[in-house]
Amino acid sequence: MLLNTLILNQGAERRLRAGHVWIYSNEVDNKRTPIKNFQLGEQVLVEASNGKSLGVAYVNPNTLICGRLLCRDTKLRLDRSLLVHRINIALSLREACFDKPCYRLVFGDSDGLPGLVIDRYFDIFVVQISTAGMEAVVEEIISALNKIFTPTAIVLRCDGKMRSTEGLESYIEVAQGEVPELCPFEENGVPLLAPVLTGQKTGWFYDHRDSRAAMQKHVKGKRVLDLFSYVGGWGVQALAAGATEVICVDASETALDVALENARLNNAEDRFAAIQGDAFDACKELINDQEKFDVVIVDPPAFIQRRKDIKNGERAYSRINNLAMRLLERNGVLVSASCSSHLERASLVDIIRSNARELDRTAQIFHQGHQGADHPVHPAIPETDYLKSFCVRVLPSS
């Protein structure tokens, strides 16, 4: 396949040479190679202003990030062969880290496949495509999965927010096989169910696996409150670890129905309760009712979607952590998490510190969590290091 050439402005290649893979529209030499002349999702050869080759990328002429570098060898193309190779490399890491085939198989840029996420639930694969360049090879992605594995089903969950920015339509499709309404899988030795066709993202959030394992050590015989619980990722694993009672709070009644099914799957429905509604309002009501919990888990959706949202987002994180602390028993444990890449780890620590002091308490962080090995960090792309969590003892001041 002969490719057109995209030429960068002088000096714009420095980030790419340092390891980054994104090309911004203002880095393109629009006099020599006007970005508007390229097709949506087209693969191109990328050159520095002095003519030196930088690799192969796909482009979108309509977005701020107008190109994503795929490979530095100009002989390669994003085709089935490269997909099979990259997915096999990703698989080798997961197989080295996990004993069950339930994980994020492909994590976009970090696995050399920008715009592609694949979550694995045993032999069911859920594919999420967020860029035009990756959408152009969707059939090759399906073929590559069939080459490497023997899938019972492949689901295309192509309905993420980024698709509209890329000029792509959203859709959910079962590409092959039959998919149950609730898909079985396992995390930290706990059997679970995920709504892969109707739930958030791909149906589950594998990224907090390690932090959930850490949480399990502190819930036996305890009363636990799981805020923003979704389908019970934290709460049901707390039940499996011996919590005497778990209350899951979520805005979605459907998600809480799945959480109940997950509790039932673990023979713990008698220790499970749910509150459907806004987590902030639910906390206020629980405080008014003078309820107390040994462990409170705060794992909200991303309150900070863009840099301009940082101040308002930090206020929201502060409010919910304050409410959670007020619901803790003496010497209780707060699990405070964030999936906002724009919230610095140090900022969440400061939020925990300041709210503890406002309540005349002392915070003692004894565990710091990061995303699991199936969400590897690309060292040149800070956005791939997005997840953080803290286990905190909240002690009376003395």
Residue 115: alpha-carbon gap to chain centroid: 13
The mean pLDDT values, 10 residues at a time, for the chain of 398 residues are 94 95 96 96 97 97 96 97 98 98 98 98 98 98 98 97 94 97 98 97 96 97 98 98 98 98 98 98 97 98 90 95 97 96 95 96 96 97 96 92
Nearest to 329 by CA among 239, 242, 222, 249: 222
Residue 307: predicted pLDDT: 87
Alpha-helix residue ranges (DSSP H) falling in the chain: 14-17, 80-97, 132-135, 138-148, 162-165, 209-216, 235-240, 253-265, 279-288, 310-326, 345-358
The token duo for 1 is: 């396949």
The token duo for 353 is: 């510190």
Q: How far apart are CA 211 and CA 328, in angstroms?
A: 19
Q: How far apart are CA 48 and CA 16, in angstroms?
A: 10
CA distances from 58 to 12, 55, 131, 158, 323 (A): 17, 10, 9, 19, 46
The token duo for 225 is: 């409150």
Q: How far apart are CA 370 and CA 347, in angstroms?
A: 15
| Architecture label for domain 5-71 | Roll (2.30)
Which CATH superfamily groups domain 187-396?
Vaccinia Virus protein VP39 (3.40.50.150)
Residue 46: predicted pLDDT: 98
Residue 398: predicted pLDDT: 72
The pTM is what? Answer: 0.95
Residue 306: predicted pLDDT: 85
Residue 275: predicted pLDDT: 98
The token duo for 47 is: 């050159």
Nearest to 243 by CA among 269, 219, 275: 219
- Which residues are within 8 A (CB) of 66 and not within 5 positions of it... i.e. 6 or more apart? 23, 24, 25, 28, 35, 59, 60
The beta-strand segments (E) located in the chain are 4-7, 22-24, 43-47, 53-59, 65-71, 102-107, 116-121, 124-129, 153-158, 171-177, 183-187, 190-194, 223-227, 245-250, 272-276, 293-298, 328-338, 361-369, 388-396
CATH class of 80-177: alpha beta
**For the chain, domain boundaries:** 5-71, 80-177, 187-396
Residue 27: predicted pLDDT: 97
Q: How far apart are CA 186 and CA 118, in angstroms?
A: 16
> Going edge to edge, which strands form the sheet with 53-59?
4-7, 43-47, 53-59, 65-71, 22-24
Q: How far apart are CA 149 and CA 144, in angstroms?
A: 8
Burial 174-203 (b: 16+ CB within 10 A, else e): ebbeebeebbebebbebebbbbbbebeebb
